[in-house]
Structure 1
Amino acid sequence: MPELPEVEALKEFLDEHLTGRTVTRVLPLAISVLKTYDPPLTALEGQQAGPTTRHGKFLALHIGELYLVVHLARAGWLHWRESMPAQPPRPGKGPLALRVVLEAIGADGEADGFDLTEAGTQKRLAVYVVHDPQEVPGIARLGPDPLADSFDRDAFAALLAGERRQIKGVLRDQSVIAGIGNAYSDEALHHARLSPFKLAASLDEEQITTLHTSVRTTLREAVERSRGLAAGRLKAEKKSGLRVHGRAGEPCPVCGDTIREVSFADSSLQYCPTCQTGGKPLADRRLSRLLK
């Protein structure tokens, strides 16, 4: 799933490639992708694109007086195409969900643009056409951005106060903090040497300070690694930069212990027992009482 660093990199990529260009066609290819109907997608056609903004894991493409808001969900992605086929694709064929075609520029007259695709059978990729990004329910519910200047240590502590949930779940809750998903919550907790099952409200002052630093450091480093990369290279960059997430069975890069995994119904987490849980393996929450 694309998280804050990848979505930030896509925002910068679109700022460079889309801003100032005129949209000629917007083609919905999967009926499930479009979550609004008024204004219609056709209202974007003939309009000039402005800057793209990021809201948590959402992209908001400013086109004319409207916004094309995109949430890539778990299996969605944006593919830039230097040359678009003259014939439109057939709806319902393959992973293609939406195509945006731009006015041709240059001597060759080739039209470029981008495709939104979604792999798998669970169709969660979402597209909205709105007058204001805050009209999108998921954006309206977002918590603060962890890379914002206002997200200081005290602001983070206030969010954790009274939270009786495990810290892993709190970090992933978009209404608490915007943009962190399964991968970077694992990475931040490993950096902070904290168990993912520790209750948020039980963190002491030092642990809060350490985790705040770890969250911002982990995200900033990932953003820097992704900066300037083409959209097609971002997934590989994300995977290569992860230290524990998705690396069950491999040695921890800090202490050498074997990275362990806890599986859930539709996801999993990875952690290092030596670095994070005092050497104790965490129990599978589906089968037994959690170890803290």
Structure 2
Amino acid sequence: MSRRTRVIAAAVMAPVAIAAVLFLPTPYLAGLLAALLMLGLWEWTLLAGVRERLSRVSYLAANALLMAALVWGSGHGGLFTLKLASLVGAIWWLFALLWLARFDFAAADTAMARVIKLLAGSFSVIPAWAAICWLHASQPYGPGWALFAISIAWAADSGAYFVGVRFGKRKLAPRISPGKSWEGLIGGLISAILLALAVTPLFGLPWSSAPGLVLLTVVTALISVAGDLFESLLKRHAGIKDSSNLIPGHGGLLDRVDSLLAALPVFVVGKMLWLGH
């Protein structure tokens, strides 16, 4: 697929995504994202080595019911269930970091490995969905905060790509993703920091809050890279290049949201610790 096709697809998707986050009411955004993430979980089942259609449908149904339970609980507990799910997701990504350090863990195509990877899918997708829903519904500037959290991952990914292409020499994780470099990682972090400084006044924050926002941004950007690497690890295990061919020039849905799956719950937990809400 040509680079031009990739650029055109991105030019179409980005404005649509931004408009949805900024202008859709939270319930409608939550429903749209739930539907999209179900597609992502469908792709995840293949990464986990599950190919029986009934098993894949059952897995999606179980996760859809979990989402519905979180929505029901949030209606009775002041969004507490969404916050709790976000916390679970942030904790999960600490374990995922250990998994990245053990490339061969669950690499064999066994029943236990498939179960572990399916659980990893639920722990990755459900908390990310809960986090963006809670963030979008929060006050003040809920949609703005949601877009900012998403933009951190975008900035880190774009900065890493352009700096890595131009200056990348030292491989970040050659066994998992040979194209990533330490130079690219630094470029991505700088891009994310500049974004944080640019939005500080937009949220009505005093400049004295900038160091806290920058710290939250750096942590979120770093964990977004872990999300990207984790999906790459699963694809290496499965022996495939893309999670699907759903998006021209970009692969599957998971290939576009892998970094967000990690970034969103960590950002939400960090924001709650930093601002208290």
Say which structure is richer in helix.
Answer: 2
Question: What's the TM-score once normalised by structure 1's chain length?
Answer: 0.23
Higher RCO (C-alpha under 8 Å, 6+ residues apart): 2
Say which structure is richer in strand.
Answer: 1
Question: What's the TM-score once normalised by structure 2's chain length?
Answer: 0.24
Q: Over alpha carbons, which structure has the higher Rg?
A: 1
